[in-house]
Amino acid sequence: MDTNQELTIMELVVNAGEGRSFAMEALKAARTGDYEKAGDLVKKSEQSIQNAHKSQIDIISKEAAGEPFPVSLLMVHAQDHVMNAMTVLDLAKEMIQMYKMMKGE
């Protein structure tokens, strides 16, 4: 694995981790009734996860063009972070709506 591949993997981990963290912060904001802040944090989460997705697309595009990308434990770990972040964001969006409904908003 070369340095560029390692950097791509780290971009996946960093962006996914940031996306997950923003989604969790959004839930905390919604729990206290700060839906504007929650909405802003959801947007930040979506952007971070989109950045991770761009890295995934780059890997897939290169591999489709014949440039193999080795599947290492680090790569599997990175993909795990991305999928986890996507799941947390989806659940956060639903839970924010639930908070609003519970408070009659």
Question: At the topology level of CATH, where does 3-102 sit?
Answer: Methane Monooxygenase Hydroxylase; Chain G, domain 1 (1.20.58)
Residues 43-71 pLDDT 10s? 999 999 999 999 999 899 989 999 988 88
pLDDT, residue 3, reads 86
Catalytic residue list contains 81? no
Calculate Rg over the CA atoms of the chain.
16
* Positions of the chain with pLDDT under 70: none
Catalytic residue among 31, 43, 77, 103: 77
Element (H, E) at 74: helix 73-102
pLDDT, residue 81, reads 95
pLDDT, residue 44, reads 98
Q: Report the 3 state secondary structure along 2-62.
A: CHHHHHHHHHHHHHHHHHHHHHHHHHHHHHCCCHHHHHHHHHHHHHHHHHHHHHHHHHHHH
